[in-house]
Amino acid sequence: MSRPRSDWQRVAALVVCVAAAVAFGGCGARETRAGKASVEGVLLVGNGAEPQELDPHLVSGVPEHRVLSALFEGLVDLDPATLEPIPGTAERWTVSPDGLVYTFYLRDGAQWSNGDPVTAQDFLYAWERILTPTLASEYASMLHCVANARAFNTGEIKDFSQVGVKALDDSTIEVRLEQPTPYFLSLHVHYTWYPVPRKVIEALGGMTARNTKWTQPEHMVSNGAFKLAQWEPDKVIRVEKNPHYWNAAAVRLQGIAFYPIEDAMTEDRTFRTGGLHLTENVPLPKIEMYQKEQFPFLHIDPYLGTYYYRINTTEPPFDDARVRRAFALSLDRDTLVAQVVNAGRQPAAHYVPPDTGGYTSNARMPYDVEQARRLLAEAGYPGGQGFPKVELLYNTSDDHKRIAEAVQQMWNQALGVEVQLLNQDWKVYLNSMNTLNYDIARSGWIGDYSDPYNFLECFLSGNGNNRTGYASDQYDRLVRKGASIMYKTGRLATYQQAEDILLADAPIIPVYFYTRPYLLSPDVKNWQPNHLGYISWKTLYVEPPPEQAR
Amino acid sequence: MSEARGPESSVEPIAVERGASLWRDALVRLRKNHLAAAGLVALFALLVVSLLTPWIAPYGYEDQDLALGAVPPSGAHWFGTDLLGRDLFTRVLYGGRISLLVGFAATGVSLCVGVLYGACAGYLGGRTDALMMRFVDILYSLPFVIFVIILTVYFGRNIVLLFMAIGAVEWLTMARIVRGQVMSLRQKEFIEATTVMGLPRHRVLLWHLIPNTLGPIIVYATLTVPRVMLMEAFLSYLGLGVQAPMSSWGLLINEGVQTMENRPWMLIFPSLALSITLFSLNFLGDGLRDALDVRASKD
């Protein structure tokens, strides 16, 4: 047996190897993925999570919205800078003086990505589909402002022709509303209002079949600026420019790649090594560092949304409003947000974000441990005695985890209850919430349009986005009444009462109001931030830095 | 052989060479290897500290002080605090308990199962061997994460399950290594001698074959411990392992990496603890292999 080298020689060799790896790993200018994509005109986007589906009628999340808004176009589009309605697939529209009847005139050149013309019937088919009770779309309530839409959606009327939408001819649509809805036009950038390819859906299972193959790249036909080119689950979704789009000449991007990177740290690293143009998020600890360094690619935009915990109100112990309030009261938002969340976010002592369509709630959820303990004792658990172990569910993310850990400890200290943390993948997590298979779940709501109704309607009983089992007749009545009041002050005053009830019943525990931190490459041009997080993909373009463009 | 003797051998009568046992020889040789001895001492110290953690930890591992936040090491907090204001020294101590427990328990499981299984397969040979090894192949083909997820769905999430799951997967490679060793040893004269002497099979296996494979087994075991510790961190990240607010070194390091630019102490201390353990294990493993290498010394 040969004599082994001495131990110190081995240690020295190790040190040299590590040093060499560090030195060589750090240098060397190589062409990055994003750099190459900039030359090719392709935008690389971090998209947070793998979309649940690409069927506009069966999704409810933000990652899905980003992809779908590239693929489809509604009747009306939004100016990304001002959020004012601008013509989309409809070239113009008229509104009746009472604000109840909208007539849309489709443009001539509007085509699907297979060259078929987009007709009024395509829109009606889509709206009928999402409202059909057997499809069980979670987000069908977005169309409830249309006359009789809710009745049809809940199965009270069976005949779709009674719903207030009508094709006057192939290119004219008339929509009759239940009541005047000031934000009606801005609804059309939301995927629930997009047309869907009737022929493809009918060929692959029919109108009310869920999760059929029509959203696969080989079948999918869309009418937006882009069409689906590739969908590799958990890897990438690629869309490419749709040559049949009516305004294809103005679309400057050749394509977009959406990467479902759930881990914000990985996404951050991918961006910094040149793998992305735009990130979905920035990890909380990094935001702090970037702000200190004045990292030029960090952007923090206002974002109309609330981060909250939802409670499953259908199972004990949380079927008791006192228990829910006790949990809500013992969450110290101010300290939590200041120490753990930061990024310019504000603690949320109420649900609808401040100044949503001119509305700011007067109701407040205070931090009051004494009262919380008293309520828990009244509910039969003095000092947390006999309180069952509950689970706090969140979708896998370090940031959610950190917040959950802090909250877990707050509840433990204030109430003496034991809370376990449970994380799930986005799709599983959505499914757990939809089937009410949780105790407490981290959640958030991002406004689709700037009106409190968009937030408050989520907790109407039976709403697809309710996901708490919460049902209060009084709340339902107030929210619906508010929506029907024409003049703004009266409407907002009714919403105030509704939010009072919501906070008192506490099916949700607001935590903070979002801001939207993200990293953006300077290669991306014509970027127009707004508080809805609405990205107008068709007006964006990418351009390599001058020295790189040959 | 004279130069390998311990000091006590000098007083022995000269003519008869006393039959020193394998273990005695090994211990003497191990003591001479300073790095390995240091590794052994360090591991022992870590073990003692882990056992005494509940008494020596200055704070509770779940005590948070949000208002304090993350502060660098100081007199009150030797290793500083994490983002939720929890004392890092305490968390490293408690994390070590979990990491060491998972590391050694899972390695122990894999060692027992793998060595016995591999030795049987190698010694029996023929059809039995083929059958046993195909079974290993089948287990190999199961994706690890899916296997663990299935286990957690059925049995709930707890730490014992984590040992089982990791051990259940890790013994496969061990079995293969031991089988290979045993197959080559089977042809050696000393095994033929045991057959001639009429020793029963289990005795041959346990007393003559397995001790001769100790070198590779120990090296592989010392490599398994760190891998298992890192695997635990990965599983815990997926929510399948250690439950918050409890932590482990792997999880602490994961947290530390996220904020290393601002708060290096959150990365340095847990990494240091893990590195010391891994280095000790490696040095010890190295020393043990040299010390236990019967074939190198008995010629």
pLDDT in tens, A296-317: 999 999 899 999 999 999 998 8
Read off the pLDDT of each residue in B106-131 and give the average, rounded to a whole number.
Answer: 90
- Which among A332, A420, A424 has the least Cβ separation from residue B243? A420
CA distance A194 to A122: 9
Task: Please check whether residue B8 lies inside any domain of the structure.
Answer: no
Nearest CA in chain B to A283: B258
What integer pLDDT is reported at residue B109 of this predicted model?
87
Whether residue A496 sits in one domain with residue A354: yes
Distances (CA, A) of A401 to A284, B244, B245: 11, 9, 10
Task: Please check whether residue B150 lies inside any domain of the structure.
Answer: yes
Among A402, A411, A429, the residue to mutate for chain B (most B Cβ within 10 A)? A402
What integer pLDDT is reported at residue A22 of this predicted model?
52
Gap from B83 CA to chain A (nearest CA, Å): 7
Tell me the pTM.
0.77
SS3 per residue for A514-544:
EEEEEEECCCEECCCCCCCCCCCHHHCEECC
Task: Please check whether residue A289 lies inside any domain of the structure.
Answer: no
Among B234, B240, B251, B261, the residue to mutate for chain A (most A Cβ within 10 A)? B261
What integer pLDDT is reported at residue A10 of this predicted model?
58
Q: B262, A288: Cβ pair inside 8 Å?
A: yes
Q: Residue B295's pLDDT band (boundaries 50, 70, 90)?
A: low
pLDDT in tens, A358-391: 889 988 999 999 999 999 999 999 988 899 999 9
Give me the helices (H) in A93-184, please.
120-131, 149-153
Whether residue A234 sits in one domain with residue A183: no
Q: B258, A285: Cβ pair inside 8 Å?
A: yes
A432 touches A424 (CB < 8 A): yes
- Which among A285, A340, A423 has the least Cβ separation from residue B84? A340
Residue where the block lists tokens 């693929």: A71
Amino acid A266 reads T
Nearest CA in chain A to B149: A424
pLDDT at A220 over 80: yes
Residue A317, SS3?
A: coil
Task: Please check whether residue B70 lies inside any domain of the structure.
Answer: no
pLDDT at A18 over 70: no
Among A405, A419, A421, A425, the residue to mutate for chain B (most B Cβ within 10 A)? A405
Domain count, chain A: 3
Q: Residue A26's pLDDT band (boundaries 50, 70, 90)?
A: very low
pLDDT at B16 over 60: no
Among B84, B254, B288, the residue to mutate for chain A (most A Cβ within 10 A)? B84
Residue B54, SS3?
A: helix
Q: Residue A119's pLDDT band (boundaries 50, 70, 90)?
A: very high
Whether residue A316 sits in one domain with residue A233: no
- Which of these, A64, A94, A58, lies nearest to A185 by C-alpha position? A94
Whether residue A195 sits in one domain with residue A67: yes
Read off the pLDDT of each residue in B130-152 and give the average, rounded to a whole number.
Answer: 83
Read off the pLDDT of each residue in A41-59 and give the average, rounded to a whole number.
Answer: 92
CA distance B273 to A288: 27
Whether residue A349 sits in one domain with residue A409: yes
User: Domain residues for A457?
Assistant: 302-515
Whether residue A238 sits in one domain with residue A272: yes
Q: What does the longest C-alpha to C-alpha distance in chain A come to?
A: 99
User: Domain residues for B139?
Assistant: 25-53+79-297
What is the CATH number for A331?
A: 3.10.105.10
Q: Residue A357's pLDDT band (boundaries 50, 70, 90)?
A: confident
What is the ipTM metric for this complex? Answer: 0.73
pLDDT at A320 over 50: yes
Whether residue A531 sits in one domain with residue A500: no
pLDDT in tens, A74-100: 999 999 888 889 999 999 999 999 889
Q: A7, B62: Cβ pair inside 8 Å?
A: no
Query: pLDDT above 70 covers what percent of chain B?
Result: 89
The pLDDT mean for chain A works out to 89
Which residues of chain A are within 8 Å of residue B243 when distances are taken between CB atoms? 420-421
Which residues of chain A are within 8 Å of residue B296 when distances are taken between CB atoms? 1
Whether residue A67 sits in one domain with residue A44: no
pLDDT at A1 over 80: no
Task: Please check whether residue B89 lies inside any domain of the structure.
Answer: yes
Which residues of chain A are within 8 Å of residue B83 when distances are taken between CB atoms? 285, 339-340, 402
Q: A398, B258: Cβ pair inside 8 Å?
A: yes
Task: Please check whether residue A284 lies inside any domain of the structure.
Answer: no
Task: Please check whether residue A375 lies inside any domain of the structure.
Answer: yes
What integer pLDDT is reported at residue A29 of this predicted model?
47
pLDDT in tens, A127-156: 999 999 999 888 898 899 999 999 999 999
What is the CATH number for A124?
A: 3.90.76.10
Reply yes or no: is the peptide bond before residue B245 cis, omega within 30 of 0: yes
Task: Please check whether residue A217 lies inside any domain of the structure.
Answer: no
Task: Please check whether residue B15 lies inside any domain of the structure.
Answer: no
B159 touches B102 (CB < 8 A): yes
What integer pLDDT is reported at residue A15 of this predicted model?
61
Q: Residue B245's pLDDT band (boundaries 50, 70, 90)?
A: confident
List A residues 385-404 in contact with B (Cβ-Cβ < 8 A): 396, 398, 401-402, 404
Read off the pLDDT of each residue in A156-171 and give the average, rounded to a whole number.
Answer: 92
The token pair that represents B263 in the structure block: 């708060």
Nearest CA in chain A to B259: A285
Q: Residue A72's pLDDT band (boundaries 50, 70, 90)?
A: very high
- Interface residue ranges in chain B relative to chain A, Cβ cutoff 8 Å: 34-35, 62, 64, 66-67, 69, 83-85, 238-239, 243-245, 255, 257-259, 261-263, 283, 290, 293, 296
For chain A, what is the radius of gyration of the CA atoms? 25
List A residues 247-276 in contact with B (Cβ-Cβ < 8 A): 265
Q: Residue A11's pLDDT band (boundaries 50, 70, 90)?
A: low
What integer pLDDT is reported at residue A13 of this predicted model?
59
Q: How many CA atoms lie within 13 A of A27 on its CB side?
A: 4
Whether residue A500 sits in one domain with residue A362: yes
Task: Please check whether residue A56 lies inside any domain of the structure.
Answer: no
> Other C-beta atoms within 10 Å of A286: how many?
24
Would an 8 Å CB–CB cutoff place A283 in contact with chain B?
yes
Whether residue A134 sits in one domain with residue A70: yes
Q: Residue B6's pLDDT band (boundaries 50, 70, 90)?
A: very low
List A residues 4-33 in contact with B (Cβ-Cβ < 8 A): 4, 7
pLDDT at B160 over 80: no
Task: Please check whether residue A119 lies inside any domain of the structure.
Answer: yes
What is the CATH number for B213?
A: 1.10.3720.10
What integer pLDDT is reported at residue B85 of this predicted model?
87
Would an 8 Å CB–CB cutoff place A424 in contact with chain B?
yes
- Which among A4, A289, A405 has the least Cβ separation from residue B84? A405
Task: Please check whether residue A285 lies inside any domain of the structure.
Answer: no
Domain count, chain B: 1
- Which among A285, A336, A408 has the least Cβ separation from residue B262? A285
DSSP sequence for A373-422: HHHHHHTT-GGGTTPPPEEEEEES-HHHHHHHHHHHHHHHHHH---EEEE
What integer pLDDT is reported at residue B298 of this predicted model?
47
List A residues 288-327 in contact with B (Cβ-Cβ < 8 A): 288-289, 292
pLDDT at B196 over 80: yes
Among B258, B259, B266, the residue to mutate for chain A (most A Cβ within 10 A)? B258
pLDDT at A257 over 90: yes
Whether residue A507 sits in one domain with residue A531: no
CA distance A381 to B166: 39
Whether residue A498 sits in one domain with residue A390: yes
Task: Please check whether residue B288 lies inside any domain of the structure.
Answer: yes
Read off the pLDDT of each residue in A170-180 and give the average, rounded to a whole number.
Answer: 92
For chain B, what is the radius of gyration of the CA atoms? 23
pLDDT at B299 over 60: no
Task: Please check whether residue A99 lies inside any domain of the structure.
Answer: yes
List A residues 157-216 in contact with B (Cβ-Cβ < 8 A): none
The pLDDT mean for chain B works out to 82
Q: Give backbone dihedrals phi and psi of A233, rounded to 5 degrees, phi first.
A: -55, 140
C-alpha angle A466-A468-A471 in degrees, rounded to nearest 5: 75
pLDDT in tens, A494-527: 999 999 999 999 999 999 999 999 999 999 999 9
